[in-house]
Structure 1
Amino acid sequence: MRVIPALRCNYSGILPGEFYNQVYLSMHLMLAYDLSSNVYFVYAGTYKEQVVINRANVKIYGQTSNALTYSSNQATITNNVPASSAGSNDASGTVRVLATGVSIYNLNIANTYGKPVDQSQAIALSVQAGQFGCYGCKLSGYQDTLLANKGTQFYGKSYIEGAVDFIFGQQASIWITGSTINTIGNGYITASGRESEDSNYYIIDKSNITGTGTQYLGRPWREYARVIVQGTSIGSHVVAAGWTQWSSSTPRTAHILFGEYNNSGGGAWRTGRASFATKLSAGVSISTALGSTSWIDSAYL
């Protein structure tokens, strides 16, 4: 059971400073106006809002009976804003991280916009800064659930759900480990937007890929996409090709690295893998992907 820090976001209570809504205390207001601490506790409840975290080194803890898993989380932040009305992918995020060194523990974060139209980009979590840690969280959406866009990012013992390009971004290096990646329809798990030969990776490590629909591990959003899946159980709903081009008219496969190492399950490497996929002889280390790991909570490695 988690010990409650001093500052609290309470579904039915009042924080010092009395920023209070009749339905719920806004986490967004709490972060914006109460600057006395960088540590916040979120009580059990469902908070419908968009939250912007623009202060460095903030830590947010959701109420839970077991901090080392997402399955016991009791606090949910949710909204249903699509990028088409918000003006950009980032602006549609239910939670938006804009500052360095932010850590989020045991929160459920959802964008429930779903699949009502063809253009259904709707972000649950948007991360635009480095040394970001996501621990025991549950991220839910349909298209573009997680925008992992800039800096070094770590996701441990978490759950990420979607259908189309639901782990995507351009300038981030991310490490997902000990997590469940669940698909809820036809589509593509990753869409790496890496645009040059920089040092960034998308790594899915020692995780479980589950779900429904006809799925690919990824497609290249930009020409230098780089995604590695290693030590992971891959469900048989992932097709034999494993990976696919961006589109028939814009393949974007000349400079990519879509790599696999030591995976298992019905969707792991087999006959019919895409010609531009690579079966690796060794995995990638977390230090290669993220550099120093001193900022990561080692309980989630």
Structure 2
Amino acid sequence: MASALLLTLLSLILFSSAAHHRHHHSQPPTAAAASPSTQLIQSACNATRFPTTCASALTQYTTNLSSPLEILTAVISLSSRILQAAQIKAWKILQSSLENQNRSSAARICLEVLQNANRRQSAAEDALSRRRIKDARAWLSASLAYQYDCWSALKYVNDSQLVNETMSFMADSLMLLTSNALSMAESYDLFGDNVGLWRPPLTERDGFWEDSTNNGDGGGGGGGGVAADMAVNVTVSKGGCGGCYKTVQEAVEAAPDNGVGRFVVRIEEGVYEEIVRVPFEKKNVVFLGDGMGKTVITGSLKVGPGLTTYNTSTVGVFGDGFMARDITFENKAGPDAHQAVAFRSDSDLSIIENCEFLGNQDTLYAHSLRQFYKSCRIEGNVDFIFGNSAAVFQDCLILIRPRDVAPEKGESNAVTAHGRTDPAQSTGFVFWNSTVNGTDQYVALYRKKPKAHRTYLGRPWKEYSRTVFLGCYLEEIVIAPGWMPWSGDFALRTLYYGEFESRGPGGGSSGRVGWSSQVPKEHVGAYSLQSFIQGNDWIPNSN
């Protein structure tokens, strides 16, 4: 069994390596010599960021592709085969790194996120067959994000030939193919079978906005959220009771795998000091608490030897359809702990209402997929809302906390750090009717020395970072430039940072940096719940 597995893995790796070699040494067929199938492939590949790689891979390893949908599906299938080879390379790194804490931790992260990438790509193929194109785009966006996560984790432990080879393999083969599939999926969504209209992905910086229906709906998707009166399946109680669980994790484990109906966990008032994980197979899990500050799930993990930002979350959710209401999620590692996450979500179609997120740097890791936060309270300082999800924040209160690094001398803090790496990813942070202010302690520091304490709406973690604030109230702590560079001019020509009708003393547009934008009124609807995350299809209409 083991030898057969190794042979299969070896053939996959040789296959992808040979494909990469031929990408650089062969030319696509000329138009005169090309078959109808080859011509169609070439036209479809011209809509990607890496057309030569795309055409070479498809023409050499597939035949008889007669429709745009078949071509798109073939690119996803080919990417999935390369993904399997990357998983094996990550497994080999782990096996060779058992005595190297940091490298073995990076390899475990790779294996976890690549498994999720594989799941999402399989789901995307199925969604395409059912013409659910928005779902396919969301899942391909997540798959590419996970692949990048693996590459990024390895970057920090690149001290061996195997790690270096794996990173090159992912960057030069896997991520290029997945990016191409994502670009094709966007064109297919926009233009259908008319390949003549297909083109490489554009962003708002190019003057392109997607569907702007639902304009002026205030971000609402029917105004719904998480019902407070759902029927409870299990209860968690600090004091104990007949049939109660004492830990949240035990209650999660009691949920059925791949459940279709809601599995509601009532978490009674109390402080639950534990690390909670909701795995992929635990779908439609609901946490109902007794209120912010009453039901508290807290931890104190922070970045250190063998522990990356990804694994520091007090609560980490993978299962789709997750909901939470009336709970505080906290990481109490402290302001001098650097990255320390309170809540990380990879749950597609997740809804969080009336919840509190407490931390400092990297409080809320909205990692991937479609998420909706309603009437939440989020505290932190450095990049404390970050990730590469498509997340909408409606009616939220966002508060800056002071940092303990010589606060009297001043500090610069960014509310968001969005991580979109590809212009075709359907991801971004959207804030509707929310307020940005400071905690009482931070505001007191600001007023003593206002020029030294600088709060920005965001900074570009990755090249195509996208964040918009729509109809939000910005207090005086938000300084005139509004947005902060990451490093030099990195991403300043490719990001999209926008505002629409910002209010309050920090909401003036006259002093904003030149690389931010005011969202045109006719395009505000592109960021509605329905347009941006298809919210009307899955967010309940009312409580």
- What band does the TM-score fall into relative to the shorter chain? 0.7 to 0.9
* 1:6 positional shift: 4.2
Letter in structure 1 aligned against 2:417:
A
More helix by share: 2
Partners of 2:381 and 2:413 within 8 A in 1: yes
Distance in 1 between residues matched to 2:536 and 2:381, nearest whole Å = 30
Query: Which residue does the alignment assign to 2:62?
Result: none
Superposed CA deviations along residues 101-154 of structure 1, whole A, max 9, x for unmatched, are 11011110000112225xx10000000121111111000100000100111000
Query: Is 1:294 the equivalent of 2:537?
Result: yes
Partners of 1:217 and 1:238 within 8 A in 2: yes
Query: Which residue does the alignment assign to 1:56?
Result: 283
Query: Which residue does the alignment assign to 1:115?
Result: 335
Which runs of no fewer than 5 residues in structure 2 stay unpaired?
1-226, 403-411, 443-452
Distance in 1 between residues matched to 2:398 and 2:264, nearest whole Å = 28
Aligned to 1:31, which of 252, 276, 279?
Answer: 252
Superposed CA deviations along residues 36-60 of structure 1, whole A, max 9, x for unmatched, are 9711100000010111112111011
* 1:85 positional shift: 4.8
Distance in 1 between residues matched to 2:354 and 2:382, nearest whole Å = 23
Instruction: Give % identity.
Output: 25
Query: Which residue does the alignment assign to 2:416?
Result: 190
Report the CA distance shift for 1:15/1:180 in structure 2 as closer, same or farther (over 3 A): farther
Superposed CA deviations along residues 187-238 of structure 1, whole A, max 9, x for unmatched, are 1000010001122121011111110342100000000001000110001101
Runs of 4+ in 1 over 3 A off after TM superposition: 1-4, 33-37, 297-300
Partners of 1:137 and 1:158 within 8 A in 2: yes
Query: Which residue does the alignment assign to 1:164?
Result: 382
Query: Which residue does the alignment assign to 1:97?
Result: 317
Query: Is 1:8 the equivalent of 2:235?
Result: yes
More strand by share: 1
Query: Which residue does the alignment assign to 1:203?
Result: 430
Report the CA distance shift for 1:134/1:292 in structure 2 as closer, same or farther (over 3 A): closer
Query: Which residue does the alignment assign to 1:22?
Result: none
Distance in 1 between residues matched to 2:368 and 2:478, nearest whole Å = 28
Query: Which residue does the alignment assign to 1:106?
Result: 326
Partners of 1:182 and 1:209 within 8 A in 2: yes
Distance in 1 between residues matched to 2:509 and 2:519, nearest whole Å = 13
Tell me which structure has the larger Cα radius of gyration.
Answer: 2
Match runs of 1:108-147 below 5 Å: 108-117=328-337, 120-147=338-365
Query: Which residue does the alignment assign to 1:215?
Result: 455
TM-score by length of 2: 0.50
Report the CA distance shift for 1:269/1:110 in structure 2 as closer, same or farther (over 3 A): same
Query: Which residue does the alignment assign to 2:519?
Result: 280
CA RMSD of aligned residues (A): 2.1
* 1:75 positional shift: 0.4
Distance in 2 between residues matched to 1:233 and 1:189, nearest whole Å = 14
Task: Give aligned pairs, total.
Answer: 283
Which runs of no fewer than 5 residues in structure 1 stay unpaired?
20-24, 65-69
Report the CA distance shift for 1:243/1:15 in structure 2 as closer, same or farther (over 3 A): farther
Distance in 2 between residues matched to 1:157 and 1:127, nearest whole Å = 17
> Alignment partner of 1:76: what SS?
strand
> Alignment partner of 1:41: what SS?
strand
Partners of 2:472 and 2:501 within 8 A in 1: yes
